[in-house]
Amino acid sequence: MVLSMIFISKYMVPRGYTGITIFPFVFLKYTSLMKNKVLINHEKIHLRQQLELLIIPFYILYFIEFLIGLVQLRDWHQAYRNISFEREAYINENDLDYLKSRSFWKFLKYY
């Protein structure tokens, strides 16, 4: 079980996004999003990824993957969606039991 604290802040969430996870916090743009179990699950997957990589390395890898994707694809949204951490979260966000059975470093499958 991944424990987190959820905050509502339209200022912490970048424009064009509904949520962001910065360990150990989940920031959502609007209060109504707290009812969105798929979004919450997506963000909890990121919490697990961050914890597994001891937080700082997660952000370094995330940023490097994004930059490489941005150079290769020349498209912000495609570069973001192509980050291995995002691929894992998007593919599994609808499976609300995913984190119960997820193995350690599962994101490597999406690399």
pLDDT, tens only, 55-92: 999 999 999 999 999 999 999 999 999 999 999 999 99
CA distance 110 to 11: 30
Per the structure, how many domains does the chain have?
A: 1
Q: What percent of the chain has pLDDT over 90?
A: 86
Q: Are 57 and 49 in contact (CB under 8 A)?
A: no
Question: What is the domain extent for residue 47?
Answer: 5-110
Single pTM value for the model: 0.90
Determine the pLDDT at residue 42: 98
Phi, psi of 51 (to 5 degrees): -65, -45
